A = this chain, B = another copy of it.
Amino acid sequence: METCLSIPESQGSDPKLPMEISEIDTPAVLIDAEKLDRNLRKMANYCTKHSIALRPHTKTHKMPEIAHMQMRYGAAGIAVAKLGEAEVMADAGINDMVVVYPLWGESKWNRLADLARRARISVAMDSLPVAEGISRAAAKAGVEVGIRVEFDTGFGRCGLPLDHSSIRVAQQVLALPNLRWEGISVYPGHIMGNRAVREHDLVLENAQLDRLYALLSAAGVSHLSVSGGNTPAALLSHRFHGINEIRPGTYVFNDRNTVDAEAATYDECAATVLVTVVSTSVAHRAIVDAGSKTLTADTLLSGERKNHGYVLDHPEIELYDLSEEHGHLRIPEGSRLQIGDRLRVVPNHICPCINLQERVYVVSDDQVIDQWKVSGRGRVN
């Protein structure tokens, strides 16, 4: 395994490393170094094999250390959700980024233009006013910003509809000064069911993509880069028509949602939350010291929406409810937990969980070998 990058600032006032996992105060997020490395390599190898550019979405981890590992494994650059995340990554030396978010307002357009002075930066957007604002700010600053027009192939969130008026918007965007045309962007966020469901959805998705390409070609709009990809559908990307870049995020850690979608196993979940049993007063229940302020209240995305995480090595225990700082466990008859017992929980959704942490602990077997600051946490602007 490659040596992990360590950034001195992240050490804070914490005890000297290495230390034992048993010495960590809970609750705490542990990152299994070997599993992380395996997940990073698996996706990088897949993309290399199929000649698809990998542009990992760093909203999942928000840690420059991991972004640098992804770049070393051959990523074409990174994707971010918000400008503040891009600024954190640029500060850490990442120099190729797409903000996959429609940025609005003078303040954001000016910050974007500033960023374009120190990194190759692009934006995915879906309206002329946003593109015009970016173009104006870029012209004023004398920089060029990459632009990708987002189309909606079925998720129904952002993205222009697949019709002629949308193609005219793309043509108008193409004509704006100080924008570098990079192609089109889609987000197959609706392809997230289990394997059989994904196979079915893929057929529909390809019909949508074919329609989009026909509209673009008829209007003479080039689409050099076609960016897609989420974690559940990532390893199907070579079967998406025309996709030549993907932006998966969750694959670095995986989570209960990914396992539920049959896109990973619990053994491939690199991030777990270490918790301690703090109360066993109520019969058949136990309370651990991680609630929604550590794990988030995110429910499972598909299938049965019960429970707030998976308790590793204890499939019989249900994490059935969360208060802000309490995790409520249901203990079956015959099972028993003691105050002070430690458990490891795979959260339902790892991305917002990481966003709640100041730092994570990088572990190998029973040792803490590093700790990383979640430098991008809380950057909502």
The answer on a CB contact under 8 Å between B352 and A297 is yes
- Please name all residues of chain B whose beta carbon is closer than 8 Å to the beta carbon of A156 when the two chains form the complex: 282, 285
Beta-carbon contacts under 8 Å, A256-286 to B: 276-283, 285
| A160-B281 Cα distance, complex, nearest whole Å | 5
Looking at the assembled complex, report how far the CB atom of A107 sits from the nearest CB atom of chain B, in whole angstroms.
Answer: 5
Per DSSP, are chain A's interface residues mostly helix, strand or loop, or mixed? loop
Q: Which of B158, B325, B351, B377 has a CB less than 8 Å from the CB of A326?
A: B158
B160 touches A276 (CB 8 A): no
| Interface membership of chain A positions 19-30, coded 1 if the CB is closer than 8 angstroms to chain B and 0 otherwise | 000000111100
Interface string of A321-336 (1 = CB under 8 A from B): 0011110100000000
A287 contact set on B, CB distance < 8 A = 102, 157-158
Assembled-state Cα–Cα distance A262/B161 (Å): 42
Cβ–Cβ contact B157 & A282, under 8 A: yes
Copies in the complex: 2
Chain B residue with the shortest CB-CB distance to A356: B378
Would you give the shortest CB distance from A100 to chain B, in whole angstroms? Answer: 10
Interface-lining segment among A34-42, A124-132, A234-242: A124-132
| Residue interface bits A343-381, CB-to-B below 8 A is 1, else 0 | 000000101100111100000000000000000011011
A47 to B1: give the CA distance in the assembly, Å: 61
Q: A325 near B108 (CB under 8 angstroms)?
A: no
Assign chain A's interface to a size class.
35 or more
Contact B293 A355 (CB under 8 A): yes
- Convert A90-125 into 0s and 1s, putting 1 for each residue whose CB lies closer than 8 angstroms to a CB of B: 000000000001111101100000000000000000
**A127 touching B281, Cβ below 8 Å:** yes
B325 contacts A101, CB within 8 Å?
Answer: yes
Q: A276-B104, A281-B159 are in contact. Are A352 and B324 (CB under 8 A)?
A: yes
Report chain B residues within 8 Å CB of A126. 279, 281
Other-chain residue from B127, B161, B290, B355 in contact with A339 (beta carbon distance below 8 A): B127
Expressed in whole angstroms, the Cα–Cα distance for A290 and B156 within the complex equals 17
Whether, in the assembled complex, A199 has its beta carbon less than 8 Å from a beta carbon of chain B, the answer is no
Is A289 part of the binding interface, using a Cβ–Cβ cutoff of 8 Å?
yes
Q: Answer whether A378 and B351 are a contact pair too, CB < 8 Å, given A102-B279, A298-B292.
A: no
- Whether the pair B294, A297 counts as a contact (CB closer than 8 A) is no
> Which of B26, B59, B281, B292 sits near A324, CB closer than 8 Å?
B59
A81 within 8 A of B: yes
CA of A129 to CA of B279 in the docked complex: distance in angstroms?
A: 10
Q: A12 → chain B, closest Cβ, in Å? A: 12
In the complex the two chains form, is A339's CB within 8 Å of B129's CB? Answer: yes
Interface: A82 (CB within 8 A): yes
Q: Which residues of B contact A142 (CB under 8 A)?
A: none
Report A329 CB to chain B, min CB distance, Å: 11
Return the 10 tightest CB-CB contacts between A and B, nearest first.
A158-B279, A102-B278, A297-B298, A81-B325, A297-B297, A126-B281, A25-B381, A358-B378, A25-B107, A160-B281
Jot down 5 A-B pairs with beta carbons below 8 A, ordered by A.
A101-B289, A152-B282, A292-B296, A293-B380, A296-B296
Contacts beyond the supplied A158-B279, A160-B281, A377-B378: 17 A-B pairs with Cβ under 8 Å: A27-B381, A28-B381, A82-B325, A101-B278, A104-B278, A104-B340, A105-B340, A127-B279, A127-B339, A158-B281, A158-B282, A159-B279, A296-B296, A297-B297, A297-B299, A356-B356, A357-B378
